[in-house]
Structure 1
Amino acid sequence: MYLFQNAVRNIFRNKGRNIILALITFLIIFAVTVSFLISGSTKSIISNARAQFGSQVFIVSAGAKEPELSDYLKYGESDLLQKMELSMRSYGRLDGLRALDEEIPDENANVILVSTSRTDLSEEFRKGLRSIAQGSAPEKKDECLVSEDFAKLNGLSVGSRVKIAPAGTGKDGTAALTVSGIYSDNSINGTGGQAGMPLYNRNNEMITTAETAIAIDFIANSTGRQFEAAYFLKNPDSLEDFEKELRDKGLPPDCSVTVNEEEYKQVVGPAEKLSKISNIFLMIVLALGAAVLVLVSVMSMRERKYEVGVLRAMGMKKGNVILGMLTETVLITAVCLAIGLGGGTAAAGPAAEILTQQTVKTGPSDSGQEENFQTVEIRMTSAAAVEISLVALVLAGISSAAGILYITRFEPNRILSERN
């Protein structure tokens, strides 16, 4: 108890020297906290991206003929998958209704049916380029979303029926869909305005479920339809097993099974650069900080040489002298650690945002890189706090050890004689 009380008194007795030591220690802990948090957050982004895009698989056809729609559905029946996402753009002709920008109704396609199995419909709805103004998204079979302009032109409301027929002559069949909701288009490009070209007007797009579109034969097999299937593996490491399974199901040799490397690089690229910058900064801070602390500790101990000599001459053991000095350093470090953790956590967010912007700007010119890069969410975890505390204690130990080794190598009589 005496050693602790004496250590506290010594801290306040030598205010000037200890304020300098505390300020340096605080700056080091502050910088270490910022670096640790940014590095930990970017590692989390990289890990999540590997799990997401490493498990997202596409089938790319290099031949003239790609697999049939039924084949894609068959490929999705695998125990290795956690889910399958389907999306398709197909064409049809309105039966009894008018399309926007349509002058004279004919047998040609005048409506685009956009179908998906995603619950959030598409990236446009997620980013706010489109939003549901009335009703709800299609959930059941034979439901659809129509645009506000299209609904106004044809006097439609939620619950109305829309009939679609196959485009072109010589084709029979009609599909009836129920309007479950009406969407508004908030984009400024591609909204139409070209008379006689209804397919160029985004507001002629009807959005429905993949289940609905697949069940309509003349829609699923319409001329010029665009179909995409994304398979999500339960384990990214099972890609080879999944490809082998697809080959056994008849996947043609000129079709390749690939992961979503492009989006993975767009997300992971800036995150890896940011992690590298924070790690380099951390190494520099630790190296310079340790050197400065050692220098300050040695200079401080030189001033306290006479104090140590008196304590040793009074009979205090060398171990108690060392323990008292270590207690002083630990107390100062503990106070700086508490302040540094709070300040570093508050500053890590803005610092990460600035570094992210600079990283994206200095990277390859790619408009999708900035959009796909995830925001670095800074969060202090118990594991990070423990790691930073250990680093602070190690630095305190190194600095104290240097000063203690310097001062304790002298005998009490020599210290006092030099003073005299």
Structure 2
Amino acid sequence: MNFAKRAATSLGARRSKTAALLAIFLVICTLLLGGFLLQAAAARQEADAQRSIGVDVTVRKEGLTQALADRLGGAGPVHRYNVEIRVRADAQGFAPLTPKVPEPGGAAAGQRTTGALAFNGVRDSDMLLPFSYGSTKIVAGRGITPEDAGGDVAVIEQRLADENHLKVGDTVRVRSADGARTTTSVTVVGIFQDPTRDPTMWTPPHELPGNTVYVPTATAQKFAAGAVTVSEAVFKIGSPDGARQLHAEAERLLGKGGFEFRVNDKAYKDQVLPIQRVGTFAGLIVWVIALAGALILGLIVTLQIRERRTELGVLLAMGEKKWKLIGQHAVEVVAVALPAVALAALAGSLAGQPAGEAFLGHQDAGPVVAARAPGTGIAPPAVRVGPADVGKVAGIALGISLVSTVMPGIGILRLHPRSILTDGD
């Protein structure tokens, strides 16, 4: 009888110990697979978090032009960016809001003031802090997007819309506040709600929250007198490493030390770093389980070899080669390991998703992201059992099988039939 058939016979004759060995292997393979699945889920969720949260970098410089801001926006680490230009303009054919109290020692309330509308030229209104944090909300239509660069569109405040009975799709005329009196027709594409209340004291009309209008930067430039500079530019990048790359590019374009470079990575740290720690923990689990599994199974096989010394001695006395005895134990362990891998894969497909959500599913509940981007939190992790994961578990399981049988089997190579049969138990 060859050693493979003897291994099958031995497993059948020692059912209770075979079942115990299978249970131990199943636990080891399940934990290994769980570690790999958790690593993969953490990596996917980290990538999603970097895209949805990222790191905000604000650049300010006296004389910063949109051309320079656009060149910075084209840098490698930048996912999206926004520039902001502030100008004042006058309404034509509709009435801006006026202060409810008269100006101290000045004109009566309600008197027309030049430049009553505060025009904010932006590239991407969703990146403005009031919109990204959710304090200011679009209540009708949409915001300003990069695709609006070539069009004259506007997003107005709800109080201004209510005062003039304006709605999405209406067209209004706006003229510059300087002597040139440039007039442009803009189409209302959105209405937003600013929670800031009207001031109780006299305030210039252009500082009233209801007189704020968002338009594309090209539209704002039509109402500006002279050269237009960017008040600030905000860039969204994936990680703090990208911020260092962007700073180097800003130094190249803007000169060293001549600009303000502020990094806001609080949301990134609050949300992404915990995910990275989970991934590191999962990798540690894999190593610990692999080493502990090899040690535990090695001890079990060693004990089994000691219990079967008589069997080994008889086989050696009959002329069986020592490497075949080691091969028999290896086949026995491998024959138990492969079903354990299959059962672990089944368990992973059934319990992997709930386990992944238990570790990673609450990462989108942080107050920073909840306030920052309502409705766009980190998606729950997708835990999938793939062939690659099962293959890695099978490879480690087979490696554990070989280590746990070859190492104790070295003792067999050093023994002789007579010493095995004559030694006491």
TM-score under structure 1 normalisation?
0.71
Identity %: 19
State the SS of the aligned residue for 1:367.
Answer: helix
Q: Cα deviation per residue 1:86-138 (whole Å; 9 max; x = unaligned)?
A: 23263645444345796454427665545433496667777887457447866
- The match for 1:209 among 211, 216, 241 is 216
Correspondence for 1:63: none
Gap change, CA 1:57 and 1:151, over 3 Å in 2:
closer
What is the deviation of 1:396?
Answer: 1.7
Q: Cα deviation per residue 1:355-389 (whole Å; 9 max; x = unaligned)?
A: 4589999xxx9835996995555445555444333
What is the deviation of 1:73?
Answer: 1.7
Contact 1:360 1:370 in 2 (8 A): no
Distance in 1, Cα, partners of 2:73 & 2:170: 40
Correspondence for 2:313: 309
Distance in 2, Cα, partners of 1:47 & 1:107: 50
Correspondence for 2:409: 404
Contact 2:97 2:160 in 1 (8 A): yes
What is the deviation of 1:142?
Answer: 0.4
Does residue 113 of structure 2 align to residue 107 of structure 1?
yes
What is the deviation of 1:177?
Answer: 0.9
What is the deviation of 1:161?
Answer: 1.2
- The match for 1:87 among 74, 80, 83 is 83
Letter in 1 for 2:167: S
Correspondence for 2:15: 15
Q: Cα deviation per residue 1:213-240 (whole Å; 9 max; x = unaligned)?
A: 3443169969xx953243879x958657
State the SS of the aligned residue for 1:86.
Answer: strand
Gap change, CA 1:371 and 1:163, over 3 Å in 2:
closer
Contact 2:176 2:223 in 1 (8 A): no
State the SS of the aligned residue for 2:185.
Answer: strand
Letter in 1 for 2:190: I
Q: Cα deviation per residue 1:291-317 (whole Å; 9 max; x = unaligned)?
A: 322222222223333333343344332
Distance in 1, Cα, partners of 2:127 & 2:372: 18
- The match for 2:304 among 300, 307, 315 is 300
Distance in 2, Cα, partners of 1:256 & 1:412: 83
- The match for 1:76 among 70, 76, 94 is 70
- Count of residues in correspondence between the two structures: 400
What is the deviation of 1:328?
Answer: 1.8
Gap change, CA 1:280 and 1:220, over 3 Å in 2:
farther
State the SS of the aligned residue for 1:76.
Answer: helix
Does residue 332 of structure 2 align to residue 328 of structure 1?
yes
Gap change, CA 1:124 and 1:294, over 3 Å in 2:
farther
Correspondence for 1:182: 190
Contact 1:166 1:219 in 2 (8 A): no
Letter in 1 for 2:83: S
Contact 1:37 1:345 in 2 (8 A): no
Letter in 2 for 1:393: L
Correspondence for 1:145: 155
Contact 1:301 1:406 in 2 (8 A): no
Gap change, CA 1:239 and 1:96, over 3 Å in 2:
closer
State the SS of the aligned residue for 2:28.
Answer: helix
Distance in 1, Cα, partners of 2:128 & 2:348: 38
Distance in 1, Cα, partners of 2:237 & 2:7: 61
Q: Which has the larger displacement, 201-210 or 155-164? A: 201-210
Correspondence for 1:25: 25
Contact 1:165 1:174 in 2 (8 A): yes
Q: Cα deviation per residue 1:25-71 (whole Å; 9 max; x = unaligned)?
A: 221222222223333444566678889999986535xxxxx32242x
Consecutive unaligned residues in structure 2, runs of 5 or more: 101-108
Distance in 1, Cα, partners of 2:209 & 2:412: 80
Distance in 2, Cα, partners of 1:370 & 1:402: 57
Q: Which has the larger displacement, 270-279 or 324-333? A: 270-279
Does residue 167 of structure 2 align to residue 157 of structure 1?
yes
Distance in 1, Cα, partners of 2:183 & 2:231: 21
State the SS of the aligned residue for 2:62.
Answer: coil
Gap change, CA 1:137 and 1:369, over 3 Å in 2:
closer
Aligned-residue CA RMSD (Å): 4.9
What is the deviation of 1:415?
Answer: 3.6
State the SS of the aligned residue for 1:400.
Answer: helix
Correspondence for 1:288: 292
Letter in 2 for 1:28: I
- The match for 2:400 among 395, 411, 414 is 395
State the SS of the aligned residue for 1:182.
Answer: strand
Contact 1:213 1:219 in 2 (8 A): no
Contact 1:26 1:339 in 2 (8 A): yes
What is the deviation of 1:21?
Answer: 1.4
Letter in 2 for 1:116: V
Distance in 2, Cα, partners of 1:124 & 1:331: 62
Correspondence for 2:368: 367
Correspondence for 1:38: 38
Consecutive unaligned residues in structure 1, runs of 5 or more: 61-65
